[in-house]
Structure 1
Protein backbone atom coordinates (compact mmCIF):
# COMPACT_ATOMS: atom_id res chain seq x y z
CA UNK A 1 0.00 0.00 0.00
CA UNK A 2 1.29 3.48 -0.77
CA UNK A 3 1.86 5.67 2.26
CA UNK A 4 1.15 9.34 2.88
CA UNK A 5 2.09 11.57 5.80
CA UNK A 6 -0.49 14.17 6.85
CA UNK A 7 -0.33 16.86 9.49
CA UNK A 8 -2.76 19.60 10.44
CA UNK A 9 -3.26 22.28 13.02
CA UNK A 10 -6.48 23.17 14.84
CA UNK A 11 -7.77 25.13 11.82
CA UNK A 12 -8.22 22.02 9.67
CA UNK A 13 -9.36 19.19 11.94
CA UNK A 14 -12.48 18.43 9.91
CA UNK A 15 -10.64 18.55 6.60
CA UNK A 16 -7.93 16.27 7.97
CA UNK A 17 -10.56 13.74 9.02
CA UNK A 18 -12.20 13.90 5.59
CA UNK A 19 -8.91 13.42 3.72
CA UNK A 20 -7.66 10.62 5.97
CA UNK A 21 -10.92 8.72 5.53
CA UNK A 22 -10.84 9.24 1.77
CA UNK A 23 -7.21 8.19 1.37
CA UNK A 24 -7.72 5.05 3.43
CA UNK A 25 -10.81 4.22 1.38
CA UNK A 26 -8.82 4.39 -1.87
CA UNK A 27 -5.99 2.25 -0.51
CA UNK A 28 -3.45 4.54 1.12
CA UNK A 29 -1.86 4.08 4.49
CA UNK A 30 -1.99 7.46 6.24
CA UNK A 31 0.40 8.47 8.99
CA UNK A 32 -1.72 11.22 10.54
CA UNK A 33 0.57 13.34 12.69
CA UNK A 34 -1.87 16.18 13.11
CA UNK A 35 -4.24 17.12 15.87
CA UNK A 36 -7.78 15.85 16.26
CA UNK A 37 -9.11 18.62 18.49
CA UNK A 38 -9.54 22.37 18.20
CA UNK A 39 -6.87 23.02 20.84
CA UNK A 40 -4.43 25.53 19.41
CA UNK A 41 -1.12 24.29 17.97
CA UNK A 42 1.38 26.15 15.81
CA UNK A 43 1.36 25.30 12.11
CA UNK A 44 5.15 25.69 11.66
CA UNK A 45 5.59 22.91 14.23
CA UNK A 46 3.16 20.67 12.36
CA UNK A 47 4.92 21.34 9.05
CA UNK A 48 8.28 20.42 10.55
CA UNK A 49 6.97 17.21 12.10
CA UNK A 50 5.44 16.06 8.81
CA UNK A 51 8.38 17.09 6.63
CA UNK A 52 10.91 15.44 8.93
CA UNK A 53 8.85 12.25 8.84
CA UNK A 54 8.54 12.40 5.04
CA UNK A 55 12.30 12.81 4.66
CA UNK A 56 12.83 9.50 6.50
CA UNK A 57 11.47 7.84 3.34
CA UNK A 58 8.68 5.48 2.46
CA UNK A 59 6.04 8.08 1.66
CA UNK A 60 4.58 8.85 -1.75
CA UNK A 61 3.81 12.45 -0.72
CA UNK A 62 2.68 14.58 2.18
CA UNK A 63 -0.37 16.70 2.96
CA UNK A 64 -0.35 19.77 5.19
CA UNK A 65 -3.40 21.58 6.50
CA UNK A 66 -4.00 24.74 8.48
CA UNK A 67 -6.73 27.37 8.48
CA UNK A 68 -5.78 28.80 5.09
CA UNK A 69 -3.00 26.46 4.02
CA UNK A 70 -0.76 29.49 3.59
CA UNK A 71 1.27 29.44 6.80
CA UNK A 72 1.85 25.70 6.81
CA UNK A 73 2.91 25.67 3.14
CA UNK A 74 5.31 28.58 3.67
CA UNK A 75 6.75 26.75 6.66
CA UNK A 76 7.21 23.52 4.70
CA UNK A 77 8.92 25.32 1.85
CA UNK A 78 11.60 26.53 4.28
CA UNK A 79 12.65 22.92 4.90
CA UNK A 80 15.41 21.57 2.70
CA UNK A 81 14.16 19.19 0.03
CA UNK A 82 10.49 20.09 0.36
CA UNK A 83 8.37 21.55 -2.41
CA UNK A 84 4.85 22.24 -1.17
CA UNK A 85 2.06 23.56 -3.37
CA UNK A 86 -1.10 25.34 -2.24
CA UNK A 87 -3.45 24.79 -5.19
CA UNK A 88 -6.64 26.73 -5.77
CA UNK A 89 -8.25 24.10 -8.01
CA UNK A 90 -7.73 20.68 -9.62
CA UNK A 91 -5.79 22.09 -12.56
CA UNK A 92 -3.27 23.76 -10.26
CA UNK A 93 -3.01 20.61 -8.13
CA UNK A 94 -2.19 18.48 -11.17
CA UNK A 95 0.24 21.03 -12.61
CA UNK A 96 2.07 21.27 -9.29
CA UNK A 97 2.98 17.62 -9.69
CA UNK A 98 3.45 17.59 -13.48
CA UNK A 99 5.68 20.65 -13.70
CA UNK A 100 7.06 21.27 -10.21
CA UNK A 101 7.34 17.70 -8.90
CA UNK A 102 6.01 18.82 -5.52
CA UNK A 103 6.22 16.34 -2.69
CA UNK A 104 3.66 18.07 -0.46
CA UNK A 105 0.26 19.56 -1.10
CA UNK A 106 -1.47 21.97 1.28
CA UNK A 107 -5.07 22.96 1.85
CA UNK A 108 -6.92 25.32 4.15
CA UNK A 109 -9.59 23.99 6.46
CA UNK A 110 -11.33 27.38 6.60
CA UNK A 111 -11.30 28.03 2.85
CA UNK A 112 -14.41 27.73 0.69
CA UNK A 113 -12.84 26.17 -2.38
CA UNK A 114 -14.57 26.31 -5.78
CA UNK A 115 -13.96 22.55 -5.96
CA UNK A 116 -14.01 19.83 -3.34
CA UNK A 117 -10.50 19.38 -1.87
CA UNK A 118 -10.90 15.63 -2.42
CA UNK A 119 -11.21 16.28 -6.16
CA UNK A 120 -8.12 18.48 -6.05
CA UNK A 121 -6.26 15.78 -4.15
CA UNK A 122 -7.35 13.22 -6.77
CA UNK A 123 -6.00 15.44 -9.57
CA UNK A 124 -2.72 15.69 -7.68
CA UNK A 125 -2.48 11.95 -7.08
CA UNK A 126 -3.31 11.08 -10.70
CA UNK A 127 -0.64 13.39 -12.13
CA UNK A 128 2.98 12.41 -12.69
CA UNK A 129 6.07 14.54 -13.10
CA UNK A 130 6.81 15.24 -16.76
CA UNK A 131 10.56 15.77 -16.34
CA UNK A 132 12.46 17.18 -19.33
CA UNK A 133 12.45 21.01 -19.27
CA UNK A 134 10.56 20.92 -15.99
CA UNK A 135 13.43 19.05 -14.32
CA UNK A 136 15.75 21.91 -15.22
CA UNK A 137 13.34 24.32 -13.55
CA UNK A 138 12.90 22.15 -10.46
CA UNK A 139 16.68 21.99 -10.16
CA UNK A 140 16.78 25.79 -10.27
CA UNK A 141 14.07 26.00 -7.61
CA UNK A 142 15.98 23.65 -5.35
CA UNK A 143 19.28 25.50 -5.89
CA UNK A 144 17.67 28.55 -4.31
CA UNK A 145 17.83 26.77 -0.94
CA UNK A 146 21.59 27.37 -0.88
CA UNK A 147 21.90 30.63 -2.81
CA UNK A 148 21.88 33.12 0.06
Structure 2
Protein backbone atom coordinates (compact mmCIF):
# COMPACT_ATOMS: atom_id res chain seq x y z
CA UNK A 1 0.00 0.00 0.00
CA UNK A 2 1.17 3.56 -0.72
CA UNK A 3 0.85 5.85 2.29
CA UNK A 4 1.70 9.53 2.53
CA UNK A 5 2.56 10.96 5.92
CA UNK A 6 2.95 14.50 7.16
CA UNK A 7 3.46 16.19 10.49
CA UNK A 8 4.34 19.38 12.27
CA UNK A 9 6.92 19.77 15.03
CA UNK A 10 4.65 18.13 17.65
CA UNK A 11 4.42 14.95 15.58
CA UNK A 12 8.04 14.40 14.51
CA UNK A 13 8.81 11.52 16.88
CA UNK A 14 5.48 9.82 16.21
CA UNK A 15 5.93 10.19 12.44
CA UNK A 16 9.37 8.58 12.52
CA UNK A 17 8.09 5.67 14.59
CA UNK A 18 5.00 5.17 12.40
CA UNK A 19 7.00 5.44 9.17
CA UNK A 20 9.46 2.80 10.36
CA UNK A 21 6.59 0.49 11.34
CA UNK A 22 4.81 0.96 8.00
CA UNK A 23 7.98 0.28 6.02
CA UNK A 24 8.71 -2.82 8.13
CA UNK A 25 5.24 -4.07 7.10
CA UNK A 26 6.14 -3.59 3.42
CA UNK A 27 4.27 -0.35 2.73
CA UNK A 28 5.69 2.44 0.58
CA UNK A 29 5.76 5.69 2.57
CA UNK A 30 6.12 9.21 1.22
CA UNK A 31 7.25 11.52 4.01
CA UNK A 32 6.13 15.15 3.76
CA UNK A 33 6.58 15.91 7.43
CA UNK A 34 9.22 17.92 9.09
CA UNK A 35 12.02 15.86 10.57
CA UNK A 36 12.83 18.49 13.19
CA UNK A 37 11.16 19.76 16.33
CA UNK A 38 11.49 23.45 15.42
CA UNK A 39 8.12 25.19 15.15
CA UNK A 40 6.54 24.91 11.67
CA UNK A 41 3.10 25.48 10.15
CA UNK A 42 1.13 22.22 9.84
CA UNK A 43 -0.67 23.15 6.57
CA UNK A 44 2.69 23.14 4.77
CA UNK A 45 3.04 19.43 5.58
CA UNK A 46 -0.62 18.35 5.48
CA UNK A 47 -1.63 19.74 2.08
CA UNK A 48 0.86 17.50 0.19
CA UNK A 49 -0.52 14.40 1.96
CA UNK A 50 -4.10 15.37 1.14
CA UNK A 51 -3.12 16.12 -2.47
CA UNK A 52 -1.61 12.65 -2.80
CA UNK A 53 -4.82 11.04 -1.52
CA UNK A 54 -6.99 13.38 -3.60
CA UNK A 55 -5.00 12.59 -6.77
CA UNK A 56 -4.78 8.86 -5.95
CA UNK A 57 -0.99 8.94 -5.67
CA UNK A 58 -1.46 7.43 -2.20
CA UNK A 59 -3.99 4.88 -0.97
CA UNK A 60 -4.13 6.50 2.46
CA UNK A 61 -2.61 9.30 4.47
CA UNK A 62 -1.51 9.84 8.04
CA UNK A 63 -1.18 13.33 9.49
CA UNK A 64 0.07 14.27 12.93
CA UNK A 65 0.01 17.52 14.87
CA UNK A 66 -0.37 18.49 18.52
CA UNK A 67 -4.17 18.30 18.79
CA UNK A 68 -4.84 16.70 15.41
CA UNK A 69 -7.50 19.34 14.79
CA UNK A 70 -5.62 21.77 12.56
CA UNK A 71 -4.18 18.99 10.43
CA UNK A 72 -7.61 17.36 10.14
CA UNK A 73 -9.32 20.61 9.13
CA UNK A 74 -6.64 21.29 6.53
CA UNK A 75 -6.85 17.83 4.96
CA UNK A 76 -10.63 17.95 4.73
CA UNK A 77 -10.48 20.99 2.45
CA UNK A 78 -9.47 18.62 -0.38
CA UNK A 79 -12.08 16.96 -2.58
CA UNK A 80 -12.38 13.22 -2.00
CA UNK A 81 -10.51 13.38 1.29
CA UNK A 82 -12.22 12.06 4.39
CA UNK A 83 -9.80 12.72 7.20
CA UNK A 84 -10.72 11.41 10.65
CA UNK A 85 -9.34 12.74 13.91
CA UNK A 86 -8.92 9.66 16.08
CA UNK A 87 -7.85 9.19 19.69
CA UNK A 88 -8.35 5.44 20.12
CA UNK A 89 -8.54 2.28 18.02
CA UNK A 90 -12.34 2.06 18.20
CA UNK A 91 -12.73 5.49 16.60
CA UNK A 92 -10.09 4.61 13.96
CA UNK A 93 -11.94 1.37 13.16
CA UNK A 94 -15.32 3.09 12.87
CA UNK A 95 -13.85 5.88 10.74
CA UNK A 96 -12.80 3.26 8.20
CA UNK A 97 -15.84 0.94 8.49
CA UNK A 98 -18.56 3.61 8.48
CA UNK A 99 -16.99 6.69 6.88
CA UNK A 100 -14.45 5.23 4.45
CA UNK A 101 -11.91 7.63 5.95
CA UNK A 102 -8.74 7.79 3.88
CA UNK A 103 -6.59 9.96 6.15
CA UNK A 104 -5.91 9.32 9.82
CA UNK A 105 -5.27 12.43 11.92
CA UNK A 106 -3.37 11.72 15.13
CA UNK A 107 -3.27 14.15 18.10
CA UNK A 108 0.33 13.64 19.25
CA UNK A 109 -0.08 15.54 22.53
CA UNK A 110 -3.08 13.46 23.60
CA UNK A 111 -2.20 9.85 22.75
CA UNK A 112 0.78 7.68 23.58
CA UNK A 113 3.15 6.31 20.95
CA UNK A 114 1.64 2.86 21.51
CA UNK A 115 -1.90 4.23 20.97
CA UNK A 116 -0.77 6.02 17.80
CA UNK A 117 0.77 2.84 16.41
CA UNK A 118 -2.29 0.78 17.33
CA UNK A 119 -4.60 3.32 15.65
CA UNK A 120 -2.45 3.34 12.51
CA UNK A 121 -2.50 -0.45 12.28
CA UNK A 122 -6.26 -0.56 12.87
CA UNK A 123 -6.88 2.20 10.33
CA UNK A 124 -4.86 0.66 7.48
CA UNK A 125 -6.17 -2.86 8.13
CA UNK A 126 -9.88 -2.06 8.40
CA UNK A 127 -12.09 -2.24 5.32
CA UNK A 128 -15.02 0.05 4.54
CA UNK A 129 -18.31 -1.80 5.13
CA UNK A 130 -20.20 -0.09 2.29
CA UNK A 131 -23.92 -0.82 2.28
CA UNK A 132 -25.94 1.79 4.14
CA UNK A 133 -22.70 3.63 4.92
CA UNK A 134 -21.95 4.15 1.22
CA UNK A 135 -25.16 6.13 0.84
CA UNK A 136 -24.04 8.45 3.64
CA UNK A 137 -20.49 8.81 2.35
CA UNK A 138 -21.90 9.70 -1.08
CA UNK A 139 -23.72 12.65 0.54
CA UNK A 140 -20.56 14.20 2.03
CA UNK A 141 -19.38 16.24 -0.99
CA UNK A 142 -21.86 18.92 -1.97
CA UNK A 143 -21.53 21.56 -4.64
CA UNK A 144 -23.92 23.63 -2.56
CA UNK A 145 -21.47 23.78 0.32
CA UNK A 146 -18.07 23.39 -1.33
**TM-score under structure 2 normalisation?**
0.92
What are the superposed Cα offsets for residues 33-59 of structure 1, whole Å, 9 maximum, x if unpaired? 110001222112222121112233232
In structure 2, what is the equivalent of residue 116 of structure 1? 115
How far apart are the structure 2 equivalents of 1:108 and 1:40?
16
The alignment partner of 1:75 has SS state of helix
In structure 1, what is the equivalent of residue 14 of structure 2? 15
The alignment partner of 1:141 has SS state of coil
- Give the gaps of 5 or more residues in structure 1: none
In structure 1, what is the equivalent of residue 88 of structure 2? 89
How far apart are the structure 2 equivalents of 1:115 and 1:99?
24
Report runs of 4+ in structure 1 exceeding 3 Å deviation: 112-115
How far apart are the structure 2 equivalents of 1:132 and 1:46?
34
How far apart are the structure 1 equivalents of 2:76 and 2:112?
22
Say which is worse superposed, 11-20 or 38-47, in terms of deviation.
Answer: 38-47
What are the superposed Cα offsets for residues 46-104 of structure 1, whole Å, 9 maximum, x if unpaired? 22121112233232200011111111001111222111001121111011011100110
- The Cα RMSD (Å) is 1.6
- Give the gaps of 5 or more residues in structure 2: none
Contact 2:7 2:33 in 1 (8 A): yes
Matched, 1:147 2:137: no
In structure 1, what is the equivalent of residue 29 of structure 2? 30
Contact 1:8 1:16 in 2 (8 A): yes
Contact 1:90 1:115 in 2 (8 A): no
The alignment partner of 2:64 has SS state of strand
What are the superposed Cα offsets for residues 110-141 of structure 1, whole Å, 9 maximum, x if unpaired? 22349621111111122101111101100111
Q: How many residues align?
A: 145
